[in-house]
Structure 1
Amino acid sequence: MAGPTTAERGERQKLESGSPRLRRLRRLRMLIILLITVVLVTAAALWLLYGSSWLRTEKVSVSGVRVLTDRQVRDAADVAVGSPLISIDTDAIEARLRRKLPRIDSVDVVRSWPHGIGLKVTERTPVLILKNTGNGGKYIEVDAKGVRFATVSAAPRGVPALELAVSGKSKAAVLRRFPVDRLVREAVGVAGDIPAAVRRDTRIVKVRSYDSISLELGGGRSVEWGSGEKGRAKARTLTALMKAAPGARHFDVSAPIAPASSGS
Structure 2
Amino acid sequence: MAGPTTAERGARNPRDGSAGSEGPVRPPRPDDGAGRRRRPGPRALAAVAAVLFVAGVIWLLYGSAWLRAEHVTTTGTQVLTPQQVEAAAEVPIGAPLIAVDTDAVEARLLRQLPRIHSVDVVRSWPHGIGLKVSERRPVLVLEKGGKFIEVDADSVRFATVDTAPRGVPRLELTTSASPSLRRFGADRLVGEAVRVRGDLPDRIVRDLTSLEVRSYDHISLELKGDRTVVWGSAEDGEAKARTLVALMKAAPTARHFDVSAPTAPAVSGS
Range into which the TM-score falls when normalised by the shorter chain: 0.7 to 0.9
Could you tell me which of 168, 171, 174 is aligned with 1:162? 171
Corresponding pairs, count: 238
Instruction: Give the 5 Å matches for 1:82-231.
Output: 82-133=94-145, 137-168=146-177, 171=178, 173-231=179-237
Per-residue deviation, residues 158-193 of structure 1 (Å, max 9, x unmatched): 11111111143xx2x322321110000000011111
Q: Check if 1:245 corresponds to 2:257.
A: no
Structure 1: unaligned runs, 5 residues or longer: 1-14
Note the C-alpha offset of 1:30.
4.0
Per-residue deviation, residues 220-243 of structure 1 (Å, max 9, x unmatched): 210011111121111111111111
Cross-structure match for 1:57: 69
Note the C-alpha offset of 1:31.
4.2
Cα distance in 1 for residues equivalent to 2:127 and 2:184: 51
Cα distance in 1 for residues equivalent to 2:222 and 2:89: 41
Structure 2: unaligned runs, 5 residues or longer: 1-28
Cα distance in 2 for residues equivalent to 1:229 and 1:120: 37
Cα distance in 2 for residues equivalent to 1:102 and 1:167: 28
Cα distance in 2 for residues equivalent to 1:167 and 1:66: 35
Cα distance in 1 for residues equivalent to 2:70 and 2:107: 21
Structure 1 vs Structure 2: percent identity of aligned residues?
63
Cross-structure match for 2:267: 261
Note the C-alpha offset of 1:68.
0.5
Cα distance in 2 for residues equivalent to 1:157 and 1:218: 15
> Aligned with 1:75: secondary structure?
helix
The letter for the 2-side match of 1:102 is P
Note the C-alpha offset of 1:47.
0.8
Per-residue deviation, residues 7-26 of structure 1 (Å, max 9, x unmatched): xxxxxxxx9xx99x99xx66
Cα distance in 2 for residues equivalent to 1:211 and 1:72: 41
Cα distance in 2 for residues equivalent to 1:35 and 1:176: 72
> Aligned with 2:58: secondary structure?
helix
Note the C-alpha offset of 1:29.
4.4
Cα distance in 2 for residues equivalent to 1:31 and 1:243: 82
Return the index of the structure with the highest Cα Rg.
Answer: 2
> Aligned with 2:121: secondary structure?
strand
Cross-structure match for 2:83: 71
Per-residue deviation, residues 52-96 of structure 1 (Å, max 9, x unmatched): 111111111111111000111111111111111100100000000
Q: Check if 1:233 corresponds to 2:206.
A: no
The letter for the 1-side match of 2:199 is D
Cα distance in 2 for residues equivalent to 1:175 and 1:164: 10
Q: Which has the higher helix share?
A: 1
Cα RMSD for the two superposed structures: 1.9
> Aligned with 2:260: secondary structure?
coil
Note the C-alpha offset of 1:215.
0.4
